[in-house]
Amino acid sequence: MMKKIPSGISDLDSILKGGLPAGSVVLLFTEIGAGGLEYTYTASAKLLKVREEPEDLSVILGDECKKAILPDEIHYITFSRTKEDILQEVKMSFNQDYYDAINAGLEFKDLSEAYFRRTMVPSSWTGKGTSIFSNNGGTDLLSELVDFLDKYAKDNVVIIDSLTDLLTNSNIDDEKLVTVVKGMRRASKAWGGIIYLILAKGIVDKRIEYLLTDSVDGVLSFEWSKSRRSSQRQRYMTVEKFMSVLPHLKREKISRFTAEVTNYAGYHVVNYEKIR
């Protein structure tokens, strides 16, 4: 029987009978503000709340997740943002219980020292004691990322925020990064958790986008769309790629999910469109 880890998006988990396949690398391919980041905050908060209150699993995640496995830990890797910045964003966007769960339980890994090394960004801006022009000392950023995953990815959920940062860093070779993602996908089957990679749409070359989508197990696409009946923009989520997930959606004839982000429910599905 395939092991599954809840996504934390209850309507999606219900359709998938418990969540996403354990051992998957999932690309969150998002338009700016369309929900990719909010998805990770919501998933983190709900999984952490269930860890603290297991008796409320059905209420928080849904009945279909009763047989799913919960991650031991949730790790959030950031390259250019601080823990305090992320927590402040969560606090201003969601209810207090979401903030409390993330503040108490989410494990942050700040790789900004390696990210800003050998750039024009002064150490006074990053709070790190690195020289802005130094070419010596310190570990390569991708090596630090790989070492961290080797140590902490097993049986856990890891959120990498973001591939966009890595692809726009002049010190990182795009082809090398794609190779690391391919290796990550291979190793994830032994790790047995979920690795989320956030990538903003339209920032990097289309060829690199295609290479990355081809190098992961699943792609969840987040986008904006205007309704013909309203001037308001609507968020949509589409499963563009996921071998073990798409058959469930085809069976239900679901083409894409309509989603909202609210302070009390986080990122959640409000409807879905049927294939005509």
Q: Give the side-chain half-sphere CA count within 13 A for 271.
A: 5
Q: Which of 174, 176, 220 is nearest to 197 (CA)?
A: 220
Residue 194 neighbours by CB under 8 Å, 6+ apart: 5, 20, 22, 24, 26, 71, 157, 158
CATH code 3.40.50.300 for 22-35+69-274: yes
> What is the value of pTM for the model shown?
0.92
Tens of pLDDT, residues 11-64? 889 988 899 999 999 999 999 999 999 999 999 999 999 999 999 999 999 999
Tens of pLDDT, residues 183-231? 999 999 999 999 999 999 999 999 999 999 999 999 999 999 866 665 6
Q: Which of 222, 216, 230, 138 is nearest to 184 (CA)?
A: 216
d(Cα 191, Cα 186) in Å, to the nearest integer? Answer: 9
d(Cα 145, Cα 153) in Å, to the nearest integer? Answer: 11
Amino acid at position 43, single letter? A
CA-derived radius of gyration, the chain: 19
Q: Where are the domains of the chain?
A: 22-35+69-274
